[in-house]
Structure 1
Amino acid sequence: MAINRNIFIYAPDIHEGDAVGNHCLGLAQVCSRLDYNVYIYAQRYSTQMQAVSILNASELVTSISSDDILFVSYSIYDSLLDELLLLPCNKVCYYHDVTPYELLEAYEPVTAELCKKSLQQLPLLGKFNRLVATSHFSANRLSEFVRDHNFDIVPPVFEDFGLLKYDSKPNPITNSKYFDLLYVGRIVPHKKIEDLISCFSLLPAKDDIQYRLFIVGSMPNYEYNKMLFNYARQLGVSAKVTFTGTLSEADLLYRFQSSDAYLTMSLHEGFCIPVLEAMHFGIPAIIRCGTAADDLPSDTTLIVDSVDEAAAIIPTLREKTPSGTAYTQRAEQILAQTRDEIWGAIFSDL
């Protein structure tokens, strides 16, 4: 056990509900169970979790000693990275992957510039004692900048955190009149929400079934949101497409449990937690190929190249609903890769 050894968990931004923030908060719980003394630092932060204290990152460099472990979560340009690398302690970098800046330039130029600047920082990650990536996809992308370095692969989830802590059995309440499609995540350009709407518009109209699309997540970009609303109206599907905004955990749980299929047309994912959550609840997930989400399902027939291909698959799911057992079992296999002892082994080697 690691009694009286300190772990300092740091990310530029730690916000509950965000993938990076949730991972930092979940890892803090793991480290506490492993008997480490845990301290969380960020430049910008927010959480409603009781008994969780996040400290200002400006205090980090004066608080850490050579016997401690520094855990740095990296997903975008970090103005403190050079300073952190000078600290005398052992260091672990957890790499979420950086969104290609080209996907953001049209609607989010500031974030695009930060992603572009991060490309200059990525070689510096080779100075960490240990590199851990969210997925093989993320590790392969980082290996283009950091050579001759071994990577651990540990998914950014925990079985006792978020929706994955709930029973995987589907909600018994069903309504055969509707076939509900679900997307969960930030409503931002590289997620290609417009392709979800295009796909939905191609679904056949039938008297015995009504397709509905629920798009769940924060909507931070006004211009992009406006484009999406207008696009849904132009395609004549706005009445059947619901933008819910962010939901409480209870409402999000219900939305997963009552959905018939999950759909994502995202152009970049470092992992894609909602796909894993859908699998956990036995829901088939249709995924656009070319991201880290490709590695999640065991059923590759639902990995598609195009909007048209996704639209062709959805009606077949209604006609012959796949067994949810295979999805749930695959989710359990992935969660097994995130057990406390996995992290314990990584930290104990430092």
Structure 2
Amino acid sequence: MKAVQFVHTLNYGDAISGEAIALKRLFEERGWEAKILALHAHEKVKHLAEIWHGTAQQRAELESLRSDDLIFNHYSIASPLNDVFGELVGAKRALLYHNLTPPHWFADYNPRVHAALKQGARELPALLALSDVVLADSEYNRQELVELGCRDVRVLPLPLDRKKWDVPANSGITRVLSGHGGVNVLHVGRLAPNKCVEDIIKAFYFYHHKIERNSRLWLVGIDIDTELYSFELRRLISKLQLREAVTFVGSVADSELRAFYENSDVYLCMSEHEGFCLPLLEAMYFKLPVIAFDACAVRGTLGDAGVLLTEKDPAVTAELINLLAADSDLRRDYISRGTSRAELYFEERFAELVDSVLMRQRPHTMEKSDTKVDDESGRAKAQSWA
């Protein structure tokens, strides 16, 4: 049997890409012939993917797939691969919904991404209707699909792949973070407007200037396609006199990211749109207490294992950072909860879920619905006729 995954871009360190790689390994362990098709691939993982050029040979290979083979589409944005997915009828088609960032977040920063997200929302209902199996990687995402009229949508969460961390922590970064003897606050993720990194910076302003001067904020993540937003963040840091205390780290290797997780004191997330938020799990796995704004899928991922904020008050958030960094009993409690929470997402559990929801899943059905898409929210609304 064969399994072909469609991923728009196979990135290094990206959550969706990590799941695609984990699935490829899992399929191969079960004796399947597995491949990942992508339009683009990062240099460090391009050996794991075949770049889609739409050649006659590539199309012929896909068209030769049989009913016991699988085409698996990771859906998060408009992509030419979605058109290919829609055209193939020989193999079983599975769609895993990773959520679409509402387009309005990118309206002022990147017209191309803004348009692609709007197009993605318009494409989604038709792709759901032709899929044999529909999955979502969080309960929040599943509910969005239910609103579109999908039935029998199962949840396949992103895995916490411990094999990724079979590398020693980078010693240089370890020395830098532990060497200044103060408090390290960490955030991991793309510098994207929906992540609301400015709210992290504002909370850190109060913590650094009013509570603990010996503190650093580390922002780990790329700003590809969000350069204008990244410039705004840097301007804010200068305005708040934080240039010596805040570091934009950029893209890092797994060994470097491990060093950041292991040597930080508090993890802070102020995002207002998340379909899952894997860094929350990674932080808990590395025994790092988490503070996160309660938005979208964050509560479902974090559970009761972190501090959930229901409003954004930077001064209050700064006090919470101080509590988690300084109160050893409180810190120990959240570390214990986080460790237990992270275990629910280990790769063994992921493998069991794949067998349950994918290998033996019956085809889903769609209610007949009048689907309308709000171009700026990106949410497709459905009024059921059933």
Other-structure match for 2:237: 232
Give the whole-Å Cα distance in 1 for the aligned partners of 2:313 and 2:50: 42
Counterparts in 2 of 1:193-232, with a 5 A limit? Answer: 193-203=197-207, 205=209, 210-220=214-224, 221-232=226-237
Give the whole-Å Cα distance in 1 for the aligned partners of 2:202 and 2:213: 19
* Structure 1 contact 267–291 (Cα < 8 Å) conserved: yes
Runs of 5+ consecutive residues of structure 1 not aligned to the other structure: none
Give the whole-Å Cα distance in 2 for the aligned partners of 1:80 and 1:129: 17
Greater relative contact order structure (CA < 8 Å, 6+ sep): 2
Counterparts in 2 of 1:242-321, with a 5 A limit? Answer: 242-299=247-304, 302-304=307-309, 305-308=311-314, 309-321=316-328
Secondary structure at the counterpart of residue 150 of structure 1: coil
Instruction: Classify 1:183/1:204 alpha carbon distance in 2 versus 1 (closer, same or farther; 3 Å).
Output: closer
Secondary structure at the counterpart of residue 71 of structure 1: strand
Secondary structure at the counterpart of residue 314 of structure 1: helix
Give the whole-Å Cα distance in 2 for the aligned partners of 1:55 and 1:278: 32
Deviations 1:158-205 (A, max 9, x none): 434434x5799xx89956941110011111211111111111111164
Give the whole-Å Cα distance in 2 for the aligned partners of 1:344 and 1:277: 24
Give the whole-Å Cα distance in 1 for the aligned partners of 2:45 and 2:181: 39
Give the whole-Å Cα distance in 1 for the aligned partners of 2:211 and 2:74: 50
Other-structure match for 1:66: 66
Shift of 1:252: 1.1
Deviations 1:30-78 (A, max 9, x none): 1111111102211222342486342425254321322321001000112
Deviations 1:236-262 (A, max 9, x none): 112101111112221111111000010
Secondary structure at the counterpart of residue 61 of structure 1: helix
Give the whole-Å Cα distance in 1 for the aligned partners of 2:121 and 2:211: 52
* Structure 1 contact 10–41 (Cα < 8 Å) conserved: yes
Q: Residue 34 in 1 paired to residue 34 in 2?
A: no
* Structure 2 contact 266–290 (Cα < 8 Å) conserved: yes
* Structure 2 contact 206–318 (Cα < 8 Å) conserved: yes
Structure 1 window deviating more from structure 2 (340-349 vs 230-239): it is 340-349
Instruction: Classify 1:186/1:261 alpha carbon distance in 2 versus 1 (closer, same or farther; 3 Å).
Output: same
Shift of 1:232: 0.6
* Structure 2 contact 8–40 (Cα < 8 Å) conserved: yes
What is the TM-score when the length of structure 1 is the normalising length? 0.89
RMSD between aligned residues: 2.6
Instruction: Classify 1:193/1:207 alpha carbon distance in 2 versus 1 (closer, same or farther; 3 Å).
Output: closer
Other-structure match for 2:356: 345
Give the whole-Å Cα distance in 2 for the aligned partners of 1:252 and 1:8: 30
Runs of 5+ consecutive residues of structure 2 not aligned to the other structure: 362-386
Give the whole-Å Cα distance in 1 for the aligned partners of 2:356 and 2:31: 13
Give the whole-Å Cα distance in 2 for the aligned partners of 1:139 and 1:15: 24
Give the whole-Å Cα distance in 2 for the aligned partners of 1:299 and 1:344: 28
Structure 1's consecutive aligned runs of 4 or more residues displaced over 6 angstroms after TM superposition are none
Alignment partner for residue 144 of structure 2, among 112, 137, 141?
A: 141
What is the TM-score when the length of structure 2 is the normalising length? 0.81
Alignment partner for residue 191 of structure 1, among 190, 195, 218?
A: 195
Give the whole-Å Cα distance in 2 for the aligned partners of 1:253 and 1:120: 38
Give the whole-Å Cα distance in 2 for the aligned partners of 1:11 and 1:207: 45
Instruction: Classify 1:228/1:53 alpha carbon distance in 2 versus 1 (closer, same or farther; 3 Å).
Output: closer
Give the whole-Å Cα distance in 1 for the aligned partners of 2:237 and 2:160: 36
Secondary structure at the counterpart of residue 94 of structure 2: strand
Other-structure match for 2:343: 332
* Structure 1 contact 177–208 (Cα < 8 Å) conserved: no
Give the whole-Å Cα distance in 2 for the aligned partners of 1:113 and 1:337: 38
Other-structure match for 1:79: 80
Give the whole-Å Cα distance in 2 for the aligned partners of 1:243 and 1:23: 26
Shift of 1:337: 7.4
Secondary structure at the counterpart of residue 302 of structure 2: coil
Secondary structure at the counterpart of residue 43 of structure 1: strand
* Structure 1 contact 43–57 (Cα < 8 Å) conserved: yes
* Structure 1 contact 26–161 (Cα < 8 Å) conserved: no
Instruction: Classify 1:155/1:161 alpha carbon distance in 2 versus 1 (closer, same or farther; 3 Å).
Output: farther
Shift of 1:283: 0.8
Secondary structure at the counterpart of residue 291 of structure 1: coil
